[in-house]
């Protein structure tokens, strides 16, 4: 094997087709032949320097033409004999032959189109291979059918929640994947986006994506994408960047998929007074508009925020939503308010009188919507006859209105109230901890004196708010504020970082009022006194020690003595009991310096390993390490955050949320709570707040009562009220300054009423915009998916029957993690080294599990489903490898007539049935999306038919007794139905039933007959027709919703949108092609076998298997 010559086996460096044979050669070029199958070969010509010789590896499956017998035989390469320059080849009948390179053929990497070709040359393998392969193929097809081709969903390391699955399904079945994911805070928008991203990376092996996120979320995105979506399996294909790094994107390079998290922040830049910020928006807009796929993530409501919301929709759909049409957009929002009001009260179980009055309103609002008017008539009739279908019709009306008239067709919103089964109702009223520091009373009285004497002017109000905030935290902050007010600039930079330059300028430059200096001096003197009972940080330490004492079940006598308690806790931390799992505490403060002091103090108490921080000024790497340690290190149980930790992070695994101080911004407090109050949070996580002195006239206590009873923030999410609250806050701050605690407490009741009114407006708007993840179709899909996912043992058995029992992969269990398995080849594996490199190169060190719960508890453990690289590699290989695709066997059935010549013989055909998409796909990039849509309308399936080949014309087997015999799985020795492999030295038995010279033609006729018989079978035709009609109904409804939406848009805008019309035409054509593809589906032969049924065993001298 020294040089390329005629008959040489080579491979090209310019493609991935694998091994070829040289069939013609010149001085500079060679023509090669790729051997796909006996009847299918492809010729190509290459320059000689583009070809390399190939040495076949052990276990390579090869084809050899025996000229003397005019037949093909199949064997396995065992070795290359250097002396005689021939391959040692082992044949199925355990014989060994030596073959020259010129005589040997090896299949290229193109899968064999028709397994009947292998059977027709009698090159089949044992039915043992076939039986196990078929079981695995059935498992693969079943998974595809159940998940509707959403492999990125079922192979992701996530828990499956109905509302997230529904969002993912809608996006992945839509050829236009430009969506605003608008779920309320804590419902998992990042997870939804991660699944859609993973599916894109699987669908487009060369595709690239960019994720634009705020700086504080970079680490979390990177961690989520790796732990849940295995980002490292797609190296250098996803870039996670911040807004400041947008310049890194080459404007001439098209990015196929863009995700923008917290998109409302970027949208707000569109109308900024700062030209630099507007430029950032323009750059982001350019990237978004060029991308084929775009996901915007934002829970921001549209009410009171129309300008920024319009900018967001402009990023999504610039042709429909113009930035300069704010007046028109506000009108559209206002028009939908009336629809939302109707929809909000139009619910299942509502009083029939209310429903009847709403039917009248419905008819006037939607006079041109024939489908909706028909539903209204049906509902009216049901109300009159008291039929049981009332609730179902109401649900249909709600879904239709939402799908047709929501603000944007591709805006998907879920609400906490609608997904209550997957997230706990908020009930985290914190335990109240009041300061024991005796100085606190004096400070309170002096600050109230300052407030009473200060002029009622805006500057003094701002200064008072600084005093209010600084006195509600570590008192070192208050000391700095006071000395700065007195003119001392030593701590100026620190204060600017805490409060901002504007407020500190007011603090320093506003003239002191009469008597102020004396108050400031008294305040400073009070702060500088030594606290006998300890400062708030001491109180925090005591609180933590007490909670740990309760957790460790220390006796009350120990817990009453702080020093004894401290000693016991420190000993327990250093030398934990075997089942100790320390509770996780998250401590929030608004101030960086306070954060530093808390960390320093608690490290002295609990040790450096126990405490980490999230502070402004810490590097990205440091923050990532701290958050990872807090989540994964059992000895790290305290996380202290300044305001930089309030947004974005997922801390739902924590046990305690502690507010060391309270921010004035209610939205910031909501963000803090939202770190823990989200999907996956612990049902009983606890909360605590430090409030200053225990007194009715304490402004800190009054502010807390306003939060608790006015905003009700500890018992419901107020994320949707953020813009209302921003407008309300100045009024509350003025009341706090002018009327102190009494004024704030007096506002609690009216605030409750105002918030209820605002929530009603928001609920009415949301009623039209939110999707129904619990409608019958979505619920049925999720339940089927979830039920199948729970049957992971069935998938494992099917997989291991093939890879472990058939092709001899080794199986290794992780001794430390139950249910975690790895599979790897060894010298006995029936796959050559070249084939391993070709088909399994990306997953040689695979570690995974079939159990989703095991995967969820682990990191770096793959979930074995279609879409996971090892399972996909197996799937690819099994469709390329012709072993198990065909067989021939003798089945002994004791109940069958044993008389000579009474044997039955025929074929088993296994066909994959799926929608025929040959005419649908004009754009190859949309193939997978359209296939998913089609799978949801007509699930792929494996159809098995048995053909009686004893007579002409051949016929389908319908005899129940015979079918029972034929459908029995392969049986080896010792079973009532004894099966014999008709290969190796038993091939001649086939000649007793079909003359050898007629065998190939006989197989071809059987194949054609089976396809015709299946296509014409009444129950098959009925299945296709019923499925086509269901598809017509579903797709037709969706198309009508789009038509109505376009008509309403044209009426509102007084113009026709050509892009919407084009989308309508494209969707109309696509629907017709899908329906036609269901009526006449694609039928592909997966595997085939020839079976002889006899009432007698084969003769003993013919036994071998």
- Cβ atoms 886, 119 nearer than 8 A: yes
Q: Is residue 194 part of a domain?
A: yes
Single out the residue in 856, 880, 904 at which a domain terminates.
880
Q: Is residue 585 part of a domain?
A: yes
| Residue 833, token pair as written in the block | 């080294």
Assign residue 1060 a region: left if phi > 0, alpha if psi is -120 to 50, beta otherwise?
Answer: alpha
Question: Does the pLDDT at position 775 exceed 50?
Answer: yes
Single out the residue in 511, 527, 543 at which a domain terminates.
527
Q: What's residue 580's pLDDT?
A: 80
pLDDT tens for each residue of 169-180: 999 999 989 999
Strand partners, 979: 891
Which of 940, 966, 903, 968 minimizes the C-alpha distance to 1083?
Answer: 940
Q: Is residue 148 part of a domain?
A: no
CA angle 314, 317, 322 (to 5 degrees): 45
| Residue 352, token pair as written in the block | 């029939």
Q: What is the mean pLDDT of residues 289-312?
A: 88
Q: What is the mean pLDDT of residues 197-202?
A: 97
Q: What is the mean pLDDT of residues 640-650?
A: 89
**262-266, 413-417, 421-425, 1023-1027: which range is least confident on average?**
421-425
Same domain, yes or no: 1038 and 899: yes
pLDDT tens for each residue of 794-852: 999 999 999 999 999 999 999 888 899 999 998 889 998 888 888 888 777 789 999 99
Same domain, yes or no: 988 and 1069: yes
Whether omega for the bond prior to residue 953 falls within 30 degrees of 0, making it cis, is: yes
- Residues 6 or more apart in contact with residue 777 via CB below 8 angstroms: none
Question: Does the pLDDT at position 345 exceed 80?
Answer: no
Terminal alpha carbon distance of the chain: 38
Is 826 buried (19+), middle (13-18) or exposed (0-12) by CB count in 10 A?
Answer: exposed
pLDDT tens for each residue of 718-771: 888 888 888 899 999 999 999 999 999 999 999 999 998 888 887 777 777 777
Pairing of strands 821-824, 810-813: antiparallel
Alpha carbon distance 600, 480 (integer Å): 19
Q: Is residue 677 part of a domain?
A: yes
At residue 356 the predicted structure's pLDDT band, cuts being 50, 70 and 90, is confident
Domain span at residue 70 reads 9-110
At residue 1104 the predicted structure's pLDDT band, cuts being 50, 70 and 90, is very low
| Mean pLDDT rounded to a whole number for the chain | 89
pLDDT tens for each residue of 32-83: 999 998 878 999 999 999 999 999 999 998 999 888 877 788 889 999 999 9
Q: Is residue 893 part of a domain?
A: yes
Q: What's residue 423's pLDDT?
A: 66
Same domain, yes or no: 755 and 799: no
Which of 118, 123, 107 minimizes the C-alpha distance to 54?
Answer: 107
At residue 990 the predicted structure's pLDDT band, cuts being 50, 70 and 90, is very high
pLDDT tens for each residue of 603-631: 999 999 999 999 998 888 898 899 989 99
Alpha carbon distance 398, 447 (integer Å): 55
Q: What's residue 217's pLDDT?
A: 86
Is 885 buried (19+), middle (13-18) or exposed (0-12) by CB count in 10 A?
Answer: buried
Between 20 and 978, the more confident residue is 20
**294-303, 848-857, 955-964: which range is least confident on average?**
294-303
Same domain, yes or no: 347 and 401: yes
Q: Is residue 368 part of a domain?
A: yes
| Residue 727, token pair as written in the block | 């407008």
Q: What's residue 922's pLDDT?
A: 66
At residue 453 the predicted structure's pLDDT band, cuts being 50, 70 and 90, is very high
Task: Output DSSP code: residue 259.
Answer: E
Q: How many domains does the chain have?
A: 8
Strand partners, 863: 849
Strand partners, 259: 211, 295
- Residues 6 or more apart in contact with residue 1095 via CB below 8 angstroms: 892, 893, 894, 895, 896, 897, 898, 899, 902
Alpha carbon distance 183, 298 (integer Å): 7
User: Tokens 């044997």 belong to which residue?
Assistant: 903
- Cβ atoms 213, 262 nearer than 8 A: yes
Same domain, yes or no: 994 and 1043: yes
Task: Output DSSP code: residue 868.
Answer: B
At residue 1011 the predicted structure's pLDDT band, cuts being 50, 70 and 90, is very high
Q: What is the mean pLDDT of residues 961-975?
A: 88
pLDDT tens for each residue of 849-880: 999 999 998 888 999 999 999 999 999 999 99
- Cβ atoms 216, 647 nearer than 8 A: yes
Q: What's residue 718's pLDDT?
A: 84
Strands across the sheet containing 41-47: 41-47, 29-35, 19-25, 9-12, 51-53
Same domain, yes or no: 997 and 870: no
Same domain, yes or no: 873 and 902: no
| Residue 872, token pair as written in the block | 């996909």
pLDDT tens for each residue of 108-141: 999 887 899 889 988 888 899 999 999 999 999 9
Alpha carbon separation from 198 to 71, 203, 228, 238, 498 (Å, rounded): 47, 9, 10, 10, 40
Same domain, yes or no: 873 and 900: no
pLDDT tens for each residue of 405-426: 777 888 898 887 777 666 666 7
Give Cα 794 distance to the centre of its chain.
23
Which of 106, 135, 95 minimizes the C-alpha distance to 987?
Answer: 95
- Cβ atoms 339, 768 nearer than 8 A: yes
Alpha carbon separation from 309 to 211, 302, 758, 1066 (Å, rounded): 20, 6, 18, 28
pLDDT tens for each residue of 369-384: 888 888 888 888 888 8
Single out the residue in 504, 527, 550 at which a domain terminates.
527
What share of the chain has pLDDT > 90, as a percent? 59
Q: What's residue 1052's pLDDT?
A: 64
pTM: 0.87
Task: Output DSSP code: residue 996.
Answer: G
At residue 1103 the predicted structure's pLDDT band, cuts being 50, 70 and 90, is very low
Alpha carbon distance 248, 250 (integer Å): 6
Same domain, yes or no: 163 and 297: yes
At residue 483 the predicted structure's pLDDT band, cuts being 50, 70 and 90, is very high
| Residue 594, token pair as written in the block | 């306070």
Q: What is the mean pLDDT of residues 12-33?
A: 93
At residue 247 the predicted structure's pLDDT band, cuts being 50, 70 and 90, is confident
CA angle 271, 178, 142 (to 5 degrees): 155
Q: What's residue 773's pLDDT?
A: 57
Q: What's residue 1102's pLDDT?
A: 45
Q: Is residue 37 part of a domain?
A: yes
Q: What's residue 294's pLDDT?
A: 97
Question: Does the pLDDT at position 93 exceed 80?
Answer: no
What share of the chain has pLDDT > 70, as a percent? 96
| Three-class secondary structure of residue 999 per DSSP | helix
Q: Is residue 587 part of a domain?
A: yes
Alpha carbon distance 218, 8 (integer Å): 54
Give me the DSSP letters along 757-818: HHHHHHHHHHHHHB--TTSHHHHHHHHHHHHHHH-HHHHHHHHHHHHTTTS--EEEE-SSST
Q: Where are the beta strands (DSSP E) in 638-783?
A: 638-641, 656-659, 686-690
Same domain, yes or no: 931 and 847: no
Alpha carbon distance 797, 990 (integer Å): 33
Same domain, yes or no: 15 and 42: yes
Which of 1027, 1039, 1078, 1038 minimizes the C-alpha distance to 917?
Answer: 1078
HSE (side-chain half, CA atoms, 13 Å) at 603:
12
- Residues 6 or more apart in contact with residue 491 via CB below 8 angstroms: 480, 483, 484
Alpha carbon distance 1105, 1103 (integer Å): 6
pLDDT tens for each residue of 520-559: 999 999 999 887 777 899 999 999 999 999 888 888 888 8
Same domain, yes or no: 521 and 540: no
């Amino acid at each position: 094997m020294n040089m390329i010559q005629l008959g040489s086996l080579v491979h090209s460096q310019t493609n991935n087709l694998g091994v070829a044979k040289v069939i013609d050669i010149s001085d500079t070029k060679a023509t090669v032949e790729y051997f796909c199958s006996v009847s299918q070969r492809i010729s190509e010509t290459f320059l000689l320097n583009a070809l390399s010789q190939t040495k076949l590896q052990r276990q390579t499956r090869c084809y050899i033409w025996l000229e003397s017998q005019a037949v093909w035989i199949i064997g396995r390469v065992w070795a290359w004999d250097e002396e005689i320059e021939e391959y040692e080849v082992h044949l199925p009948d355990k014989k060994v032959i030596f073959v020259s390179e010129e005589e040997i053929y090896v299949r290229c990497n193109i899968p064999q189109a028709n397994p009947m070709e292998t059977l027709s040359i009698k090159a089949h393998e044992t039915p043992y291979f076939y039986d196990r392969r078929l079981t695995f193929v059935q498992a693969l097809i079943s998974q595809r059918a159940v998940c509707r081709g959403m492999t990125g969903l079922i192979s992701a390391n996530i828990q499956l929640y109905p509302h997230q699955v529904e969002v993912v399904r809608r996006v992945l079945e839509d050829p236009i994947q430009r969506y605003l994911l608008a779920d309320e805070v804590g419902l998992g928008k990042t997870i939804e986006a991660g699944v859609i991203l993973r599916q894109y990376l699987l669908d487009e092996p060369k595709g690239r994506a960019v994720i634009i996120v705020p700086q504080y979320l970079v680490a979390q995105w990177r961690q989520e994408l790796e732990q849940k979506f295995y980002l490292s399996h797609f190296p250098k294909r996803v870039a996670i960047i911040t807004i400041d790094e947008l310049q890194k994107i080459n404007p001439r390079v098209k990015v196929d998929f863009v995700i923008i998290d917290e998109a409302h922040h970027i949208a707000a830049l569109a109308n900024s007074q700062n030209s630099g910020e507007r430029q950032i928006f323009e750059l982001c807009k350019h990237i978004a508009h060029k991308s084929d796929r775009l996901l915007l993530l934002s829970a921001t409501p549209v009410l009171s925020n129309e300008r920024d919301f319009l900018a967001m929709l402009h990023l999504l759909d610039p042709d429909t939503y113009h930035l300069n049409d704010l007046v028109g957009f506000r009108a559209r929002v206002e028009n939908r308010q009336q629809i939302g009001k109707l929809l909000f009260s139009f619910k299942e179980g509502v009083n029939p009188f209310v429903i009847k009055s709403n039917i009248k309103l419905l008819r006037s609002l939607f006079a041109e919507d024939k489908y909706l008017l028909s539903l209204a008539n049906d509902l009216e009739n049901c109300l009159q006859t008291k039929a049981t279908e009332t609730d179902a019709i109401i649900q249909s009306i709600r879904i239709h209105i939402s799908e047709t008239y929501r603000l944007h067709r591709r805006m998907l919103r879920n609400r906490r109230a609608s997904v209550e089964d997957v997230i706990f109702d908020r009930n985290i009223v914190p335990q109240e901890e009041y300061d024991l520091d005796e100085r606190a009373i004096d400070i309170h009285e002096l600050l109230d004196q300052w407030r009473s004497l200060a002029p009622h002017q805006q500057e003094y109000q701002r200064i008072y708010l600084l005093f209010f905030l600084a006195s509600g935290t570590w008192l070192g902050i208050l000391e700095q504020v006071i000395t700065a007010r007195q003119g001392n600039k030593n701590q100026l930079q620190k204060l600017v970082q805490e409060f901002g330059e504007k407020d500190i300028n007011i603090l320093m430059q506003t003239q002191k009022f009469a008597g102020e200096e004396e108050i400031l001096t008294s305040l400073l003197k009070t702060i500088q006194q030594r606290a006998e009972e300890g400062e708030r940080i001491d109180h925090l330490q005591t609180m933590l020690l007490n909670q740990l004492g309760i957790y460790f079940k220390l006796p009350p006598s120990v817990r009453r003595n702080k020093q004894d308690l401290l000693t016991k806790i420190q000993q327990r931390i250093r030398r934990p009991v075997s089942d100790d799992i320390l509770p996780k505490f998250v401590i929030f403060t608004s101030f960086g310096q306070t954060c530093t002091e808390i960390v320093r103090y608690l490290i002295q108490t609990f040790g450096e390993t126990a405490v980490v921080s999230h502070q402004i000024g810490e590097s990205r790497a440091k923050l990532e390490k701290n958050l990872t340690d807090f989540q994964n290190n059992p000895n790290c149980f305290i996380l202290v955050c300044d305001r930089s930790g309030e947004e974005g992070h997922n801390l739902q695994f924590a046990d305690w949320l502690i507010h060391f101080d309270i921010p004035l911004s209610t939205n910031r407090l909501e963000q803090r709570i939202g770190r823990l109050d989200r999907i996956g949070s612990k049902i009983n996580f606890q909360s605590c707040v430090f409030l200053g002195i225990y007194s009715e006239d304490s402004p800190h206590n009054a502010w807390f009562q306003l939060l608790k009873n006015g905003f009700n923030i500890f018992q419901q999410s107020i994320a949707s009220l953020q813009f209302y609250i921003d407008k309300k806050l100045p009024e509350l701050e003025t009341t706090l300054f002018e009327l102190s605690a009494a004024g704030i407490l007096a506002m609690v009741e009216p605030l409750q009423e105002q918030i209820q009114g605002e929530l009603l407006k928001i609920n009415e708007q949301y009623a039209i915009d939110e999707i129904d993840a619990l409608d019958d179709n979505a619920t049925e899909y999720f339940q089927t998916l979830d039920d199948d996912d729970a049957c992971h043992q069935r998938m494992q058995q099917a997989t291991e029957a093939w890879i472990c029992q058939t092709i001899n992969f080794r199986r290794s269990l992780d001794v430390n993690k139950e249910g975690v398995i790895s599979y790897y080849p060894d010298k006995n594996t029936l796959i050559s080294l070249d084939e391993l490199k070709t088909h399994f190169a990306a997953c040689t060190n695979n570690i995974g599990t079939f159990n989703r719960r095991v995967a969820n508890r682990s990191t770096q453990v793959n979930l074995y489903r279609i879409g996971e690289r090892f399972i996909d590699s197996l799937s690819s290989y099994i469709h390329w490898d012709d072993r198990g695709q065909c067989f021939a066997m003798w089945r002994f059935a004791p109940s069958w007539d044993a008389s000579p010549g009474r044997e039955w013989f025929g074929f088993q055909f296994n066909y994959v049935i799926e929608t025929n998409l040959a005419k649908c796909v004009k754009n190859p990039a949309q193939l997978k999306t359209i296939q998913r849509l089609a799978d949801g309308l007509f699930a792929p399936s494996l159809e098995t038919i048995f053909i009686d080949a004893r007579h002409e014309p051949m016929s389908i087997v319908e005899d129940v007794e015979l079918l029972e015999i034929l459908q029995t799985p392969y049986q080896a020795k010792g079973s009532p139905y004894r099966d014999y492999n008709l290969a190796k030295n038993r091939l001649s038995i086939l000649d007793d039933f079909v003359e050898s010279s007629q065998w190939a033609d006989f197989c071809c006729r059987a194949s054609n007959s089976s396809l015709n018989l299946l296509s014409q079978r009444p129950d098959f035709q009925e299945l296709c027709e019923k499925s086509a009609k269901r598809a017509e109904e579903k797709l037709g409804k969706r198309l009508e919703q789009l038509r109505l939406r376009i008509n309403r848009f044209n009426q509102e805008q007084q113009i026709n949108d050509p892009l919407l019309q084009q989308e309508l035409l494209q969707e109309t054509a696509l629907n017709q092609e899908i329906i036609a593809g269901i009526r006449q589906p694609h039928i592909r032969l997966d595997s085939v076998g020839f079976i002889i049924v006899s009432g007698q065993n084969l003769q003993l001298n013919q036994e071998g298997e």
